[in-house]
Structure 1
Amino acid sequence: MSTLPTPSTPSVTAPDAAVRTVLITGTSSGIGLAAAIAAARAGWRTVATLRDTGRADALRKAAAEEGVTLDIRQLDVVDEESVAAAVNGVIADYGRLDAVVNNAGAGHVGTLELESVADVREVMEVNFFGVLNVSKAALPHLRATGGRLITVTSVGGVIGQPFNEAYCAAKFAVEGYMESLAPVAGAVGVDVSVIEPGAVATEFVNNIGLDIEARIAAAGPYADALRHYVERTVGQFLDGAQTPAGAAEAVMEALTADRPAFRIQTSQWAREFTGTKLADQDGSAVVGMTGTWVS
């Protein structure tokens, strides 16, 4: 009978070992930036990582305005060597890792007939396998400190949304993986939580890089449905989007609560929206609701 290898437990001794250390991915903007500032303000040694450190100006400016110190480092979640270098660097410099916030990800709008399977794989690589890369590298160190593994997913990880098939599939995968991992990690002292934001200001329009009119013009038989979807969704982001700082409060809840919940929504709207799915045993309520978005 085969046995699982026993990973080594890293040392957590260091001159300043009592200071809690958190590593956050995807901190150039949005929730990641806000969470990094909030964690530093709360007294955490905060390692704020991003794929391109040339995009760290907003992060540095926010830290200066708040009077907090961040350790800004490069980390590309889809590059295992980059992930290992970042995590190992934190341990080498600080001797411990108490929490990880998987925030890095990429939005995507499309539908199966109009895009390639390779496009879908790319979305999964960033939003799902990137989370696994960071979590796997961090877990031995989180075991050593009785730490926390926190992942920002989406309400799209609970309710599938039109023209978001690939994005929602990746977020569904993250939710399923972490829900399955939670009791296993808990058995070795690591708390696992997922954070479920709804619309957050600037993310949809600015981060997806979607040329709306060009995409609709190229949508063929899906053009009308896509236009309805875009009008509804852009309106939601412009009129009712939550601030990144508001969403980051849920990250801090997972980071600091004595017994953090597994699933934490970032707003009352997100709680009500995900509640539709969690109470919908035959799926008719969700499909009926999202059907109105495209007609």
Structure 2
Amino acid sequence: MSAQHEHAPEEKAGLWRRLNSWWGGEEMPSAGRSGAPAPNVRKAAAEATIWPKERLQVLEGLFGPGLDAPWVDEIHEPMLRELLLTEDSKAVVLGGGLGGPAARLAELSGSNTILLDDRVDVADLAQNWVSENGATLKVDRRDFFETGLKPGYADAIVAFGGFSHVRDKRRLFSHLLQILRPKGKIVFFDFFVTGMDPDCPEVAIWSALNERPQYLLQPNSFADQAYKIGFDYPDYRDVTDLHASSIRASFRKSVEVMRAAGPDAARLQPALVAELETWNRRLALIDSGEVRYFQTTVEFFGGSAVV
């Protein structure tokens, strides 16, 4: 956190109040004697710079309610059905963004669903969206390494946004193995390096420009790692082309976003341009030929034989 957040000048109290009111839905707590904002106010202002209301408005216009990335029926709906979840099942969604994907899983399956994100700001946004839309799932902020869930809790663990931001994959999947039931599945959507160079500059540049550093795996190395942890070899479904086409389809909605904004179009334009640049970099990475986007499914070793 920068020094300016630690010591906000008193004359900017109005800005701090507005930020906190937007973020927390309540008035700003009284400041201390120094006139500096209370800690939760400083936190709200810092996070608001990452997820301002303009960005949220743009995301909803491009992708839909509760989404911060494209939702592709051809990709996601078959996967949700294949999980065979019922009202008696327990599902965990890790990194479910603004709440929409987890809500869809809960709606389609009727399962007891919990959404966990390792970012405080995103978990708060998801909780707000879930509350406002009446979705039947729980939301919390948890580290993926230490979810606090008991052993054998989950029938399914789904990561719509993938695990590329997690550097220590061995530690991650060792923990997920513990909270998964014997016949359960882990499904995640992520980039894998499929070119000849595992340290290709295209991935390094894309990672450096991301909100968080990205640590991509290669299919063969991850398969070996998963097997050593206690999983069967992963099943990879290549959905790269569908993913890329969904991004381009979202780009085409940018005109609708600006038109719907009306007099506020100028205010939204910087957020829209920034979002389009982010997804254009993703397309450029795909077009480089160095990566592919996979739906990856892992199960316990011999899990298909468990009765």
TM-score normalised by the chain length of structure 1: 0.42
User: By percentage of residues, which structure has more strand?
Assistant: 2
Structure with the greater alpha carbon radius of gyration? 2
User: By percentage of residues, which structure has more helix?
Assistant: 1
